[in-house]
Homo-oligomer: A and B are copies of this chain.
Amino acid sequence: MNFLKQAITLISIVLFFISSHSQNGHDLWLQNKNPKTVHVVTAKQSPTIDIVKNELLKGWQGTEGSTLTLTIKKDRSLHRDGFKITPTTIQANTDLGILYGVYELLRRQQTGIYINENINNPSYDRRVLNHWDNPNGSIERGYAGKSLFWRYGKDSLAVTESDRKLWQEYARINASVGINGSVLNNVNASPMMLTAGYLERVKAIAEVLRPYGVKTYISIKFSSPSLIGGLSTSDPLDADVIKWWNNKIKEIYKLIPDFGGFLVKASSEGQPGPQDYGRTHADGANMLADALKPYNGIVMWRAFVYSANDEDRAKQAYNEFVPLDGQFRDNVIIQVKNGPIDFQPREPFSPLFGALKKTAIMPELQITQEYLGHSIHLAYLAPMWKEFLDSDTYQEGKGSTVAKSTDGSLFNQKISAISGVANTGLDTNWTGHTFAQSNWYTFGRLAWNHELSSEQIADEWVKLTFSPFDLANSQTKPDFSKNDWSNNFLQPVKQMMLDSHEAVVDYMMPFGLHHIFSANAHYGPGPWYGPERVRKDWTSLYYHKADSLGIGFDRTTTGSNAIIQYEEPLRSQLSNLETCPENLLLWFHHVPWDYKMKNGKTLWDNLAYRYDAGVKKVREFQKIWDMAKPYVDSERFYEVQSKLRNQNRNAQVWKDACLLYFQEFSNMPIPYDLERPMHDLEDLKISTMKRPLDYK
């Protein structure tokens, strides 16, 4: 009784004024609002429940003085950390379920969005961020500062209080959107990560992340046994190698009992792997899986493999992995990038989805905008990811979407997962661009519920991020009603977000063009990029194949026949020039410049109009944002305004570079009703090797 009384905590929170603070973006969608009083009733005590109480204290926007009852009990309708909520109750199987329920309830209070379902189960069990962070603190394809986890120099492994504070903020942000795992280092992994000093630091990170339900994982280098273990081989079937891994994994779990497992990039882009020893991906993955099995650890094994051979790069992952289907342990999951190439502005889904039927498979999305304008261009990625998740693979008949092929509903698989390559760094606002925060948010939200619409996620994010309840820092303080805010800010800004990814596609690579960047920065245009010394599948020429006849990669039967990897009726639809979706036309076909498209205009004219449309959309975004000024604090207003200007300049460069370059093949004029290029091709060839026109 006494225990129970103690346990039933009655918390009274006085309404207090939190002075509005400078909006440097560090709080993302978790800004302090003026909370109302709430009485929290719960029988449970735990670090996670402490977090729950604290969040309610800081964020309750429900009725003043309400009572909220938190109930933890087994309920078969709830999976893992799912929950049920009403305005006054949260019920879950686990403490974490309660925490997710609280974040959901607070989000609904702040956004006015009430979803009609009572049961809220996650789409994927494992919702994992992949950090491409290197031990020296740099981040591969990171555009928001140095690593949150690693740093360069003396005492780089010492754990400070400010480290812990930052990691806690990080964990909270992830938990608030449902993310429950973090791979702490780059897939191009350093073997050092498995040494004692680094593992101790992983342990320290894990301790901070644990109460927020965020499991830690690490990327491993497959040749670690020979690189740091003193062995003469890293052959996965070698007894000493197996033993080394067993010992290493034992050491890890001693430090981190709930360690998640390994992410492995092996036999890929020069990384060592089982093929170096004549073994298969299955041999390699299974060896690790067996060692992890006793601890419930998993292996996320990447399928991002391709060689510089004559086979179409887009086909290679499928060719390597489909023959291995059924050979993987049940705690191995194959991590597959959304498209068959590499996170391009638009790709068709990878044909591995749905094709691996006896092997767990997980999507790898890229949150960091490696190919989408880094942290300079505004690109809200929900529409791209939804397009991917909703794609029908037809592998088990109509309706076999990528989402269903991976969430366990279509295939029997022990684990389900989704990963996203993080866009975080030490920048105050975490992601470099305020609107890039929305992609972190979106990844979590879709990982939790892949049925959410792009529009709904944008709606939530805008409401939370630019809350009209916290406008103390805006430069002008208009007397606006909610309607005013909605009509003049929420709706146009949301529309800008929803249009933004397609705008980037338009001015970078419309109609299925892909990978025509200038060299390795993956930022500026480089359709001409093709130095002799560079392997051809790393050049733009390989991908666009422009010549005097036309442009595009013929992947039909007359070409690489990549379409064979897709199931019918999709295969036939893609194969036929007339039925292939125009937004993927040049992905699958080499199309004559004068080919008449559905609007009656030639391909060349369509290209010109599309590039131009991309530029015009960015200009439109600028107008929308400038008009949003009264509703945004000045810090974020000017940051985004400046980035949109930069994006405008860059979009113009993309348009000019691609049209002027391709015009050398088409020999057709840019339609004269379009604005003319404002750059010379030769200048662009020089300047776009770096970030073009980017002063900063």
A contact residues vs B (CB 8 Å cutoff): 619, 622-623, 626-627, 629, 642, 644-645, 648-649, 652, 669-670, 672, 675-680, 683, 686-687, 693, 695-696
8 contacts between A and B (CB under 8 A): A619-B676, A622-B676, A629-B669, A645-B678, A645-B679, A649-B679, A683-B695, A686-B695
Contact A619:B675 (CB < 8 A) given known A626-B669, A670-B626, A680-B645? yes
Residue of B nearest to A643 (CB): B680
Contact B642 A680 (CB under 8 A): yes
A672–B652 CA distance with the chains assembled, in angstroms: 21
A336–B387 CA distance with the chains assembled, in angstroms: 70
Contact B678 A648 (CB under 8 A): yes
Residue of B nearest to A649 (CB): B678
Residue of B nearest to A680 (CB): B642
The 10 closest A-B pairs by CB, nearest first: A622-B676, A683-B695, A648-B678, A645-B678, A642-B680, A649-B678, A619-B675, A627-B672, A626-B676, A623-B672
Contact A645:B687 (CB < 8 A) given known A626-B670, A693-B693? no
Residues in B with CB closer than 8 Å to A676 are: 619, 622-623, 626, 644-645, 648
A648–B675 CA distance with the chains assembled, in angstroms: 11
Residues in B with CB closer than 8 Å to A669 are: 626, 629
Residues in B with CB closer than 8 Å to A648 are: 676, 678
CB distance from A687 to the nearest CB of B (A): 6
Copies of this protein chain in the complex: 2
Residue of B nearest to A652 (CB): B678
Residues in B with CB closer than 8 Å to A652 are: 678
CB distance from A160 to the nearest CB of B (A): 34
A677–B642 CA distance with the chains assembled, in angstroms: 9
CB distance from A500 to the nearest CB of B (A): 16
Residues in B with CB closer than 8 Å to A675 are: 619, 622
Residues in B with CB closer than 8 Å to A672 are: 623, 626-627
Contact A677:B623 (CB < 8 A) given known A695-B683, A695-B686, A695-B687? no
Residue of B nearest to A650 (CB): B678
Residue of B nearest to A621 (CB): B676
Contact A677:B627 (CB < 8 A) given known A686-B695, A693-B693? no
Residue of B nearest to A626 (CB): B676
Residues in B with CB closer than 8 Å to A693 are: 693
Residue of B nearest to A627 (CB): B672
Residues in B with CB closer than 8 Å to A645 are: 676-680
CB distance from A581 to the nearest CB of B (A): 32
A645–B675 CA distance with the chains assembled, in angstroms: 11
Q: With A645-B679, A686-B695 given, name 16 new contacts (CB 8 A).
A: A619-B675, A622-B676, A622-B678, A626-B669, A626-B672, A626-B676, A629-B669, A642-B680, A644-B676, A645-B678, A645-B680, A648-B676, A648-B678, A649-B679, A680-B695, A683-B695
A532–B626 CA distance with the chains assembled, in angstroms: 34
A390–B686 CA distance with the chains assembled, in angstroms: 48
Residue of B nearest to A630 (CB): B669
CB distance from A217 to the nearest CB of B (A): 40
CB distance from A696 to the nearest CB of B (A): 7
Residues in B with CB closer than 8 Å to A670 are: 626
A677–B678 CA distance with the chains assembled, in angstroms: 15
Contact B683 A696 (CB under 8 A): yes
For A670, A678, A693, the residue with the greatest tally of chain B CB atoms inside 10 Å of its CB is: A678
CB distance from A621 to the nearest CB of B (A): 9
Residue of B nearest to A676 (CB): B622
Residues in B with CB closer than 8 Å to A696 are: 683
CB distance from A672 to the nearest CB of B (A): 6
Residue of B nearest to A656 (CB): B645
A693–B694 CA distance with the chains assembled, in angstroms: 11
A693–B652 CA distance with the chains assembled, in angstroms: 13
A140–B626 CA distance with the chains assembled, in angstroms: 43
A626–B626 CA distance with the chains assembled, in angstroms: 33
